[in-house]
Amino acid sequence: MPEPQDEQHAFHSCILDEDVIGYSNDTQPLHEDVVKIVAILEGAGIPCCFIEEYALIYYGSGRKQNDRVLCVPDDQHKKAIDLFNACSTILKPFRPSPMGGVGNLLRTYPRFKVVGQSDFWVIVTASFANIPCEPANIVKSIGGLPYPKLSVYAQSLLDTQNGTDLEELIDGMDLSQEWGEENLDLDGSIDVEWTRRRKDAVQAFGGNPIFLGLSTAPKQRRAVWQASVLRKGARMGLKKPAAVYATRWRRHGSQDPTSIQRNLI
């Protein structure tokens, strides 16, 4: 029989940490709570938009919710942090999330927890996501929350070699090669300079950039886009028959996910 585990050496998953799910007496946020927090920045004239998980969910991905990562212009990042710090009855500075592996630069940005709620926010710079965070590039959901326009977000994921999220976005919106030709800049190569800056930042943070899987080779945008679109069928797996599903997240003829009223989106 196996020896009983020493309690101190038992496996522990950070998914259940209070740093991830909040405290036992926390409540779930309501949509109006999220809108009020965004209004803190918008009311001060700071453009902002959700990226990462919440942007992918808005665009139809099946990604699980995590911290709300809010992108603001670089030159207004400090002002945004100061505004959140000033709202001490609503938001409290909080330690970084234990989620994420090597190169998780979100840990270098200020993180906040909503008082009394299991809701965490991180405010990052536009350059972190390689997104021009300005009103012309932002769209509001039916619920009034800001997201990068589809073409802006797709271009960002393409140029930053974020293949996993790019494929999530393609599958969520059932994007085609033709859509990319019409809405994206597919000429030339990915943003190699952004990649170099990301690697330098990870190294400065104490991580090893070799584990990021980011290449400074000038990959051609069009080739990356086409390969990501062509793999839609392979990503569906055996449980999603092609006769029913257009992608792993979309049935044939299903409604545009951005046109559906959804809680917290």
pLDDT by residue (tens digit) across 27-42? Answer: 999 999 999 999 999 9
Which pLDDT does position 162 carry in this prediction? 93
pLDDT at 264: 82
- pLDDT value at residue 218: 87
pLDDT for the residue 115: 97
pLDDT of 211 reads 57
CA distances to 114, 135, 242, 262 from 119, rounded to whole Å, are: 6, 25, 37, 17
The pLDDT of residue 11: 36
DSSP β-ladder status, 120-125 and 68-72: parallel
Buried b (16+ CB within 10 A) or exposed e, 130-161: bbbbeeebbeebeeebbbbebbbbbbbbbbbb
- 94: tokens are 């909080």
Write down the mean pLDDT value for the chain: 90
Q: What is the mean pLDDT of residues 186-206?
A: 85
3-state secondary structure of 55: helix
Q: What is the C-alpha to C-alpha distance for residues 168 and 212, in angstroms, rounded to an integer?
A: 19
Question: Contact 233/252 with Cβ under 8 angstroms?
Answer: no
CB atoms within 10 A of CB 116: 14
- Conformation bin of residue 222: beta by default, left when phi > 0, alpha when psi is -120 to 50: alpha
Radius of gyration over alpha carbons of the chain, in Å? 20
Q: Does residue 205 surpass a pLDDT of 60?
A: yes
| Res. 6: pLDDT tops 50 | no
pLDDT at 198 over 90: no
Side-chain-side CA neighbours of 30 within 13 Å: the count stands at 3
**Sole residue written with tokens 């919106």:** 173
* pLDDT band per the 50, 70, 90 thresholds, residue 214: confident
Given a cut of 90, whether residue 227 has pLDDT beyond it is yes
**69 and 124 Cβ atoms separated by less than 8 Å:** yes
pLDDT over 60 (residue 10): no
Domains of the chain by start residue, with CATH:
1-148 (3.30.460), 150-252 (no CATH)
pLDDT band of 203, cuts 50, 70, 90: confident
pLDDT at position 210 is 65
Give me the percent of the chain exceeding a pLDDT of 70: 90
* pLDDT over 60 at 231, yes or no: yes
End-to-end Cα separation, the chain, in angstroms? 50
pLDDT digits (tens, 9 = 90+) for 102-135: 557 888 999 999 999 999 999 999 999 999 999 9
By percentage, how much of the chain surpasses pLDDT 90?
72
User: Above 60 in pLDDT, residue 9?
Assistant: no
- The pLDDT assigned to 217 comes to 85
pLDDT at 196: 87
Residue type, 192: V
Reported as a single tens digit per residue, the pLDDT across 146-168 is 999 999 999 999 999 999 999 99
A 10 A CB-CB count for 59 gives 25
Half-sphere exposure of 130 (CA within 13 A, CB side): 19
Q: What is the pTM of this model?
A: 0.90
